[in-house]
Amino acid sequence: MIPAPWALLAEVTHACPLHCPYCSNPLELVRKSAELSTADWARVFGEAAELGVVQAHVSGGEPLLRPDLAEIVAAARRAGVYTQLVTSGVGLTAERLGELLAAGLNSVQLSLQDARRPGSDLIAGRVSYTDKERAAGVIRDAGVPFGLNVVLHRRNLDNLQEIIEVGARWGADRIELANTQFYGWALHNRAALLPARDQLDRAKATVAAWRETHGSGEGPELVWVMPDYYEGVPKPCMGGWGARSITVGPDGTALPCPAAYAIADLAPPNVRERPLAWIWTESAAFNAYRGTDWMTGPCRECPRREIDFGGCRCQAHALTGDAARTDPACSLSPDHGLVRDATATVGAGAADDFVYRKPGAPDRTDESPRIPGSV
């Protein structure tokens, strides 16, 4: 018996006003004309709830670009699902938020790229800081639970104290400090984004000091998402493949993780063709790396195999070409040198310019470092 999923990540569109070089959307973005309809999403939320999903992130791209967003949220609410809007803040007026709250929206997560306007706008690839500041005021005034998400990397880690202060000033209840995960666009931009170890050490000290001086209820709660390139242990990605969460993309592609678009031979199912219950329990894609039977190399005998599940399948695929290998972020991986070498050369070389996320895939010839699938 496969345990029921808890969460749905609904990527309702890939369209976005921002162009962040670490975007978690796939390199090849889904066109607007291929997006699921309002009725499709209503059915997906109904099926998800039947299956056991109780929480959804309504995300994108920028979900506010869907004119029918309130209808989608209302369908989620009817199904009894707790919904969080994940937004850049661009376009979040008091009227729009009011409409979403009336439809049953439960909470809002706003992204911020850096503490100050120039840095934030540079990463976003667009003037947007003022929009975000205004959106924060709208969220705060509505009294809805307010999370701030900041993706951390070499260009903003040294501003962490100031980032936290901005979050506190804007009234966030929690700040997710999400160290960049390097696949897709972020892997494409790794040379420009990968931080140095001493930056991370200082950042961790900043977080620890904030927590020490701010008790519960005194300012935002900080959530630190670990930078796996430096930890020597992989992250238990998604709580295990096909264990807790389903991602549904704008065109109905269903995946165990939003980064899994890149695993070329996965042949992901689509909610237009199959019920979500079949996708979760029966599909080859959701069963491919479920449990521990698929494990290779050091994972198979590892005492941590039920803790971190061999790490991230998408990272193993991106770096080694084989999603069934141990995550190279693990110090026990035979491929760990791929990660170690990257951290050893931080800041060296000239690759400091971003390739901004935009429709149309970037030049694929240098998409990612690859080695043959077996060593």
Is 239 among the residues that bind other proteins (CB under 8 A)? no
| Interface with other proteins (CB under 8 A), residue from 24, 25, 55, 179 | 55
Identified binder of other proteins from the candidate list 54, 101, 233, 302, rule CB under 8 A: 54
* Stretch in the footprint of other proteins (CB under 8 A) among 19-27, 103-111, 202-210, 254-262: 103-111
Q: Per-residue x/- marks for other proteins, 5-44, CB under 8 A?
A: -x--------------------------------------
Q: Which is nearer to other proteins, 53 or 285 (CB)?
A: 53
Cβ atoms within 10 Å of 89's Cβ, excluding its own: 25
Which residue, 302, 205, 272, is CA-closest to 37? 272
Residue 257, marked binder:
no
* Closest to 321 measured CA to CA, from 255, 268, 374, 242: 374
Rank residues 146 and 229 by Cβ distance to other proteins and give the closer one.
146
Q: How far is the CB of 52 from other proteins (least distance, A)?
A: 4
Compare residues 6 and 294 and give the one whose CB is closer to other proteins: 6
Minimum CB–partner distance for residue 370 and other proteins (Å): 34
- Nearest of 300, 267, 303 to residue 285 by alpha carbon: 267
Q: Alpha-carbon distance 257 to 282, whole Å?
A: 17
Binding residue for other proteins, selected from 13, 107, 120, 333, defined by CB under 8 A: 107
Q: Per CB under 8 A, does 147 bind other proteins?
A: yes
**Which window, 105-113, 251-259, 261-269, 328-336, contacts other proteins (CB under 8 A)?**
105-113
Residue entry with tokens 């209503």: 42
Site string for other proteins, 206-235 (x = CB under 8 A): ----------xx-----x------------
Structure tokens at 189: 């931009």
- Identity of the residue, 174 or 340, whose beta carbon is nearer to other proteins in the bound complex: 174
Q: How far is the CB of 174 from other proteins (least distance, A)?
A: 7
CB neighbours of 178 closer than 8 A, spacing ≥ 6? 149, 150, 151, 152, 225
Is residue 337 involved in binding other proteins (CB under 8 A)? Answer: no
Among 13, 25, 59, 84, indicate the residue that binds other proteins (CB under 8 A): 84
- Is residue 356 involved in binding other proteins (CB under 8 A)? no
Minimum Å gap between C-beta 214 and other proteins is 14
Q: How far apart are CA 64 and CA 13, in angstroms?
A: 9
Q: Whose Cβ is closer to other proteins: residue 147's or residue 269's?
A: 147
The answer to whether the beta carbons of residues 194 and 346 sit under 8 Å apart is: yes
The residue among 107 and 326 lying less far from other proteins, judged by its C-beta, is 107
Cα–Cα distance, 151 to 140 (Å, whole number): 21
Stretch that binds other proteins, among 49-57, 179-187, 230-238, 250-258 (CB under 8 A): 49-57
Specify the stretch interacting with other proteins by CB under 8 A; choose among 46-54, 87-95, 260-268, 289-297.
46-54
Which is nearer to other proteins, 143 or 372 (by Cβ)? 143
Q: How far is it, in rounded angstroms, from Cα 233 to Cα 218?
A: 32
- Residue stretches of the annotated binding site for [4Fe-4S] cluster: 16, 20, 23
Q: Binding residues for other proteins, per CB under 8 A?
A: 4, 6, 50-52, 54-55, 80, 82, 84, 106-107, 109, 143, 145, 147, 173-174, 216-217, 223
